[in-house]
Structure 1
């Protein structure tokens, strides 16, 4: 393969024989990254694959646990028992929700422009222990407006009228 960008004399690093075709300019920064043991081509390929990945596929490949919320005032709250608050999205548009001691079903929509909604369905009505965030969790989910990803983590942005600005999730391992 070529060692310069097409039509230029600018050298590049490349991964040969793989798709997508990813090339990174040879710069002082990329050379220093290689000396630190980093792989600029791999990082660029991962970023490109993230960009190319269908958002619904990313959403449905795992169960997500609620790890943090950020209020409209900017206050961050870490969720003490994240495994008690989970979401599992299916490719058919359904969502299974664990909200502390209760379970709920529902449906979600995700448009190409990133608009996202959850419509809650039937919910069990068990009395959760004091301090439970189950009811708030369900209310927040009903106020979802969009999603985004940071690395492997999912962020659900909420309507500000809900009292929270966003919910942060990580994949259950």
Structure 2
């Protein structure tokens, strides 16, 4: 009977130890989550930083395959986010508008009406429009607007143009 009592106490002790270890691991994970959340909140782009500015597409950083390209005429590829939740774009010889949603640093550009003129063989209008339709995030780096595209980590870089009057 003593052996049975001793075995029961050992089992209870083992279960209690495993439970405390599991709780300890969970608390550590939660603390890391809190730190990550605080860091994410610090990096959230303020709408005031990005609206009513003509952003000019200046470059593209692609991850697969790794490459970086410069847009030859940034003033021909613009994006203006407006305070009413709409945007306007210039894609070389084409103009368009649409709506956007910004939640934290998640940005979605909903397509709207756009002209469909042929801008010539050297135009980047189709690439620009395709990239904009896959935008997922927004951030600011060194006074540049950075739009994350797709799931590969590709990034569109924009420089400030003119402030746009409402």
TM-score by length of 1: 0.65
Aligned counterpart, 1:159: 150
TM-score by length of 2: 0.67
Q: Distance in 2 between matches of 1:63 and 1:126?
A: 22
Change (3 A) 1:119 1:53: closer
- SS in structure 1 at match of 2:121: coil
Answer yes or no: is 1:77 the counterpart of 2:66: no
Q: Distance in 2 between matches of 1:69 and 1:107?
A: 23
Change (3 A) 1:74 1:56: same
Shift of 1:56: 1.1
Aligned counterpart, 1:131: 122
Larger relative CO (CA 8 A, sep 6+): 1 or 2?
2
- SS in structure 2 at match of 1:172: strand
Answer yes or no: is 1:122 the counterpart of 2:113: yes
Q: Distance in 2 between matches of 1:140 and 1:68?
A: 12
**Correspondent of 1:96 among 83, 88, 94:** 88
- SS in structure 2 at match of 1:132: coil
Shift of 1:128: 0.5
**More helix by proportion, 1 or 2?**
2
How many residues align? The count is 120
Shift of 1:74: 2.0
Q: Distance in 1 between matches of 2:149 and 2:81?
A: 18
Larger Rg: 2
Answer yes or no: is 1:57 the counterpart of 2:64: no
Shift of 1:158: 0.5
Give me the CA root mean square deviation: 1.9
Unaligned runs of 5+ in 2: 1-41
Q: Distance in 1 between matches of 2:67 and 2:79?
A: 23
Q: Distance in 2 between matches of 1:126 and 1:106?
A: 18
Aligned counterpart, 1:106: 98
Aligned counterpart, 1:86: 78
Aligned counterpart, 1:168: 157
- Structure 1 moving runs of 4+ over 4 Å: 51-54
Q: Distance in 2 between matches of 1:54 and 1:144?
A: 15
